[in-house]
Amino acid sequence: MAGPEETADFAALIREFKDRSGLSYGVLAKRLHMSTSTLHRYCNGDAVPTEYAPVERFARLCKATPDELVEAHRRWILADGARQRERKAAAGTATAATPAAPATPAATATAEPGTSTPAPATPSAPTPSPSTPTGTEPTTTPIPTPPSTPEASPSDATETSHPTTPNPGPRNGNRTRRRTTLLTAAAVAVVVAATALVPRLVSGGDDNGDRKQEAGSVTSTGNGTSSATPSSKAKATSSPSSSTSPSDSANPSKSAAAKTGVSATPSDKADGGAATAVPLTVTSRPYAWESPCSQTYLVDEDGAKVPPPPTEQDAPSWVSALGAVSADSQFLELTVQGTGEETVVLQSLNVRVVQSGSPLAWNAYAMGYIGVGCGGGVPTHSFDVGLDATRPVATPKSGQTGLPYKVSESDPEVLYVTAAAASHDVRWYLELAWTSGARKGVLRIDDQGKPFHTSGMSGRPQYGYSLDDSEWIPHQAD
């Protein structure tokens, strides 16, 4: 069986689901909207899905229990992490080996002005005569790569076309400097191009063309500090009456994080405290669904201009295109994983309100189809947040244990947060306090650098999608 131990464990679990379901590969693949060969590769451990959504659909189709869904998610996280580590290792090996050949022109080009041949010498001491025989050029300028040849040729032609020019010293020095600069720039360009191309070729797309990262998801990382005291800015926004602009919540590493979708804001450093790497990551899915029937979005458009309900994995794109806002409640899925072998303790999960006002006066669109039932259970490690409260707090759902939890690279945790707003339009984010040995810090969790956005929909027109009519029609949810 191909792949590391984590991939084998993941494949064994989904094979167990498949065998227990009694359904063939063909039937399962058709219901999951994927090819039979792709499903075979997942079950054999030859490939790992790049997203968890198809794994969850597969498990639910095979009647997996809530505990089995959590275990499937845990094993997928480990298998996906192992696959990414393999790719990084392969990319690093190829990157280290490939640029070795193009490095030769750079060394030759930079060393050329220092040669002792009668050809143009060091720019600081130009030779007075440019009449050096051109036949010696191949030995004095050993440039093996084609990119450097076109740059050098014009200079050579210029030099030999005026052998009797009076006082050629300064002009020859300028030409030598120009040629040296051009040769160096060409060699550097070759090295940079080769270095950039190799990782792209090595880390190319999956055989199935799956997306690398689901839209709307974000991995939070940052710098830890020796102080667990929340930042003063976070304290200032703890009341729903406080209102700050989204720019106020920008984090120190935003410029570096913008390319990867990373959003993290560590707590302020204590006096004399030195910043260290945070020993955990948090992957957030701000548009996850407990079930299609439980999710509704507010959209400032008439039903005729709103496309049909998306699937859960396409919800982020649907929301972004329409500027939709989660209505009544928002369901978050947070995957917390350590970055090393050391244990990280998750101490508390705190809610910070950026802005709170009257609910949006938009139309409400339910994601479930009219007349089609929905199912689902309450996952473990679930929290409720009442955004209408003066000071919202994340509390464990009835019968479940709350924080602290422990995580490491081999033992992740998945937290589910249901944030409800009935009478307010609220922009908010979460702060996760952690400790690891003598280190401690606070990690901000938001929607790609922006606060989460949830609004009540009381009294707003509600619509459901009719499969019979293929359009949105007024519909009051049960």
pLDDT tens for 273-300 read: 445 688 999 999 999 988 777 899 999 9
Is 130's pLDDT higher than 80? no
3-state secondary structure 223-266: EEECCCCCCHHHHHCCCCCCCCCHHHHCCCCHHHHCCCCCCCCC
More confident residue, 125 or 328: 328
pTM: 0.52
Phi, psi of 21 (to 5 degrees): -70, -25
Report pLDDT for 109.
Answer: 39
Is 140's pLDDT higher than 80? no
Highest-pLDDT range among 17-31, 152-166, 208-222: 17-31
Across 110-137, average pLDDT: 43
Is 337's pLDDT higher than 70? yes
Confidence grade of residue 188 (pLDDT, cut at 50, 70, 90): low
**Residue 452 DSSP SS3:** strand
Confidence grade of residue 308 (pLDDT, cut at 50, 70, 90): very high
Is 136's pLDDT higher than 90? no
pLDDT tens for 247-264 read: 344 343 333 333 333 344
Highest-pLDDT range among 8-12, 143-147, 154-158, 451-455: 451-455
Report pLDDT for 273.
Answer: 44
Is 129's pLDDT higher than 50? no
pLDDT tens for 421-452 read: 999 999 999 999 999 999 999 999 999 999 99
Among 60-64, 126-130, 166-170, 467-471, the range scoring the smallest mean pLDDT is 126-130
For the chain, the residue count is 478
**Residue 297 DSSP SS3:** strand
Across 35-46, average pLDDT: 88
> How far apart are the C-alpha atoms of 366 and 463, rounded to whole Å?
6
Report pLDDT for 235.
Answer: 41
Q: What percent of the chain has pLDDT over 70?
A: 59
More confident residue, 450 or 401: 450
**Residue 187 DSSP SS3:** helix
Report pLDDT for 84.
Answer: 83
Report pLDDT for 145.
Answer: 47
Residue 473 bridge partners (DSSP): 464
Residue 364 bridge partners (DSSP): 298, 462
Contacts of residue 242, defined as CB under 8 A and 6 or more positions apart, other chains included, come to 236, 353, 354, 355
Nearest partner of 419 among 364, 350, 360, judged by Cα = 350
Report pLDDT for 427.
Answer: 97
Report pLDDT for 369.
Answer: 84
CB 123 within 8 A of CB 175: no
**Residue 220 DSSP SS3:** strand
Is 271's pLDDT higher than 70? no
Report pLDDT for 293.
Answer: 78
Report pLDDT for 164.
Answer: 44
Report pLDDT for 63.
Answer: 86
> How far apart are the C-alpha atoms of 50 and 206, rounded to whole Å?
8
CB 351 within 8 A of CB 417: no
Across 173-193, average pLDDT: 63
Q: Could you please report the per-residue DSSP string of 436-451?
A: ETTEEEEEEE-BTTB-
Cis peptide before 120 (omega within 30 of 0): no
Across 124-153, average pLDDT: 44
Among 10-24, 89-103, 158-172, the range scoring the smallest mean pLDDT is 158-172
Report pLDDT for 26.
Answer: 85
Is 407's pLDDT higher than 90? yes
Mean pLDDT for all residues in the chain:
72
pLDDT tens for 359-396 read: 999 999 998 888 776 655 556 789 999 999 999 999 99
Q: Report which residue type is found at 43.
A: C
Report pLDDT for 22.
Answer: 87
Report pLDDT for 193.
Answer: 57
Confidence grade of residue 134 (pLDDT, cut at 50, 70, 90): very low
